[in-house]
Amino acid sequence: MSATTPASPVVSPPTQADLLGFAQRAAADPGLIASLPLDPHGRTWVRLDGPGGSEAWLIGWPPGAGTGWHDHADSAGAFVTASGELVEHSLAARLPTEGWTTLELTAGIDRERRLAAGQGRAFGRHHVHEVLNDSPDRHAVSVHAYYPPLPRIRRYSRTGPVLRLEQVERPEDWQ
């Protein structure tokens, strides 16, 4: 008779729904939200333990703060507003992932979502968007989760229909 080692359970990577569920639960935790120090002049953030090896962040947004246009490269993600309200501008089109620095966008692909406390969304890989707190006087707080952990962020500038790749950031740039 030979001894066998029990097989390790196969762990599936978190889905977009898993990431959104995590962000919803974290955003509903008043103690966690209250623990984030808020800065009146810039965004603040604390790294969280996301599900299944994902990367997660609790982020504070002072009035007028925003990300600028960007994507999360090969990572899917989700975010939920915990307090205040955030606005997401996004593109309802899949852009080429490599080999370009300037694109002229087609009319009608712009989308805007206003996400009040408790509201959020999940998104797939290469989702181009910007998130901002357009309140003149109130902070917003949100929870974000990404899988796989962010390999890079591509930052864009936008002038009318023209989207231009400006910078590629890697984890060592924001750790």
- Report d(CA 67, CA 75) in Å as an integer: 17
Cis peptide before 9 (omega within 30 of 0): no
Long-range contacts of 89-93 (CB under 8 A, 24+ apart): 89/129, 89/130, 89/132, 90/123, 90/127, 90/128, 90/129, 90/130, 91/128, 91/129
Q: Per residue of the chain (175 residues), what is the pLDDT tens digit? A: 445 555 556 679 999 999 999 999 999 999 999 999 999 999 999 999 999 999 999 999 999 999 999 999 999 999 999 999 999 999 998 888 888 899 999 999 999 999 999 999 999 999 999 999 999 999 999 999 999 999 899 999 999 999 999 999 998 876 6
pTM for this entry = 0.90
- Topology, domain 16-174: Jelly Rolls (2.60.120)
